[in-house]
Amino acid sequence: MVRISAESTIPATEEVFRQISNSGSEEPLFLPKNIRYLAGGAEAALAQALITWSQQKPYATLQSLLESADQIEGFVRRLPGLAGALCASSATGKDGVNILGGLRQAALCRLEQLQGKQPELGYRGSSAEIVCADHLGRGTPYLLYIANPRGGAQLRPRESFRELAAWILRRSIPEAYRGRVDPEASDAMGAMLFEIFKNTEDHALTNMGGDILSISIRAVKTNHHALKLDDLKRIVGDFPPLARYCRSLMPPQGASQVHLFELSVLDSGPGFASTWTGLPYDALSLEDEETATRACFGRGSVKGESRFGEGLPHVMRLLRRQAGFLRLRTGRLSFFADYSEEARMDDATVLRKHEPADAPPLGAAAGSLLTVLLPMRR
């Protein structure tokens, strides 16, 4: 059985990827009903692991200790629980009771909220989520898509994504800290979101053979983290790149907590290197995969088309100005960019590969996950 820890830090989720890579085709996955330590992009990372598990299993069985309808509704209000419910082929609760029907119904109800004209009805606190479940025919949420006069739906124009980013920032960041956000943040993040989702339409809805994915989730996850410095250090302490970054953070003057804005974007397609090369991961060495991922991330052309245009470089400049942090998880590789003052003096390479010391190689992840963290200073 693949077991997910109740304290699902980023390294704990990497252990899940390793378990998935080594598990049999029929092994179930156990997901606790209450999960902690989901700061700094860990919630989106766990969702990526659940999507990876479901893609690799011909019959994906989800297990938990859920009993009541209230517990199920609470379970799908977190992105990992929602992803698991939307992707599982079967699901059992406490004492092995079949809960797939109730779990899927609760997930679809929440998905309908998130995809409607008032998605905030489905949000938790100041966080925001936009989820596309393409394999269930629910891949065009209102915030991202607009009705096409010729039928169907099409991606909203770039300007709408800038407005979306501005709305997300206002919703996620407390009013007292909004004046400290870079004036170009909504432009940068909006352009990045537009280009990423345009790219997912072109490259992330099919496998390497061109067949439509049987499981396809695309999502945006934002959050505002307000944590005491000691709590933050404990949560991220076993992920060295983020731990080092968090050591540079201090609570704003007069405050007792560190404030961080998080934006995570994920898809479940072939991933950076396979999209760039047209080859599956098992046909690429780790060195070739790294070269292709860096090229795809930094230079900008996928099969003759723009990968990121100006959106991602704009975000990187924003991170540099605001001393932010970026994490990319795709394929068998993990990368980060630390723009804290200390790291900028030490690191010559913007995008650095993270290789855990004294640990097995990373397990393959479905698609790509990009997380951006911005510190809030008052």
pLDDT tens digits for range 289-331:
999 999 988 764 334 344 456 778 889 999 999 999 999 999 9
Q: Using CA atoms, how far apart are residues 209 and 142, in angstroms rounded to an integer?
A: 30
- Could you report the per-residue pLDDT of 93-132, keeping only the tens digit for each? 999 999 999 999 999 999 999 999 999 989 988 889 999 9
**Are 367 and 273 a contacting pair, CB within 8 Å?**
no
Residue whose tokens read 């005491």: 228
Task: Say if residues 83 and 47 touch (Cβ distance below 8 Å).
Answer: yes
- Residue 161, pLDDT above cutoff 50: yes
Token pair of 372 as six digits: 């951006």
Question: Can you give the pLDDT at residue 261?
Answer: 93
Q: What is the pLDDT of residue 307?
A: 44
Exposed/middle/buried for 34, CB within 10 Å: 0-12, 13-18, 19+? exposed
CA distances from 67 to 32, 34, 47, 63 (A): 12, 13, 22, 12
Question: What is the rounded average pLDDT of the residues 220-230?
Answer: 90
* pLDDT of amino acid 349: 59
Predicted local confidence at residue 303, as pLDDT? 40
Give the range among 146-150, 187-191, 364-368 with minimum mean pLDDT.
146-150
- DSSP notation for 90-101: EEE-GGG-B-HH
How much of the chain, in percent, has pLDDT values that exceed 70? 94
| pLDDT number for residue 306 | 44
Model pLDDT for residues 19-62, shown as the tens digit of each residue: 999 888 789 999 999 888 778 899 999 999 999 999 988 899 99
Q: Is 152 exposed, middle or buried (0-12, 13-18, 19+ CB in 10 A)?
A: exposed
In the three-class reduction of DSSP (H, G, I as helix; E, B as strand; rest coil), residue 264 is classed as: strand
Checking if the pLDDT of 344 tops 70, the result is no
Per residue in 134-154, pLDDT tens? 999 999 999 999 998 888 899
- What mean pLDDT is reported for the chain? 90
**pLDDT mean over 182-205:** 93
